[in-house]
Amino acid sequence: MTDRPGDTEAPGDTEALPPPRTPGRYRVALVCLGNICRSPMAHVVLADQVAAAGLDDRVEVVSAGTAGWHVGKPMDERAAATLARAGHDPTRHRARQFEPSWHQDCDLVLVMDRSNLAEVGGETPRVRLFRAFDPENPGGEVPDPYYGGEQGFTEVMSMVERTSTHLVRLLSDAVAP
Ligand code: 4NP
């Protein structure tokens, strides 16, 4: 979080996405700690929902971890199994690490928890908690399921699915010609 003037959130801010930086594809980055559990699940679900809405020529989804421990690796097999059960393809993911240049390259950076938020430099109009856009319970964190059981991945999936559905509506408005 930051106290810089103009960066504080006003009521209703969650409903509007920042405008595109450039005429190209609107780029959304999803960020967690390791880029093998939460942000890959959000990446695959949001990208599939974007494609289903016919927006994939105007919206690009990427993901990264703030840590580089798993760079180049596939996602956690529990995350992959959860995605596969819901009909998504988890096999193409390879972990990446967030770099400061992504702040210039992305239109929107959505992080999974407040620790991630601190790691990427704090909240700004283009850097938000992913669950700021959760239509059921906005403003929470996506809890890290890595050290827990299956249930944690199922809960992450529910949060990711409903938040992505809401984000696609907002993205559709943000990239409208
Ligand atoms: P993620 O979960 O941030 O949702 O990808 C984690 C993955 C790996 C580790 C921690 C959290 N780790 O300590 O290796």
pLDDT reported for residue 16: 86
Whether 17 is covered by a domain: the verdict is no
Q: How far is the CA of 10 from the centre of ligand 1 (A)?
A: 31
DSSP letter, residue 97: B
pLDDT at 8 over 60: no
Whether 61 is covered by a domain: the verdict is yes
Whether 1 is covered by a domain: the verdict is no
Whether 12 is covered by a domain: the verdict is no
Whether 36 is covered by a domain: the verdict is yes
Averaged confidence pLDDT in the chain? 93
Q: Which of 32, 37, 96, 134 is catalytic?
A: 32
pLDDT at 10 over 70: no
pLDDT digits (tens, 9 = 90+) for 48-64: 999 999 999 999 999 99
Name the residue with the closest Cα to ligand 1, atom 7: 34
The domain tally of the chain equals 1
Mean pLDDT of 4-11: 42
pLDDT digits (tens, 9 = 90+) for 82-120: 999 999 999 999 999 999 999 999 999 999 999 999 999
Say yes or no: CB of residue 134 within 6 Å of ligand 1. Answer: no
Q: Which of 27, 37, 38, 113 is catalytic?
A: 38
pLDDT reported for residue 129: 98
Whether 6 is covered by a domain: the verdict is no
The CATH number of whichever domain residue 166 belongs to comes to 3.40.50.2300
Please report, for residues 47, 62, 72, 93, 155, the alpha-carbon distance to residue 125 in angstroms, rounded to integers and kept in the order given: 22, 18, 30, 28, 27
Q: Is 38 a catalytic residue?
A: yes
Whether 7 is covered by a domain: the verdict is no
- The parent domain of residue 124 ranges over 26-174
Whether 76 is covered by a domain: the verdict is yes
pLDDT reported for residue 177: 85
User: What is the spatial distance between Cα 152 and Cα 160, in angstroms, rounded to a whole number?
Assistant: 12
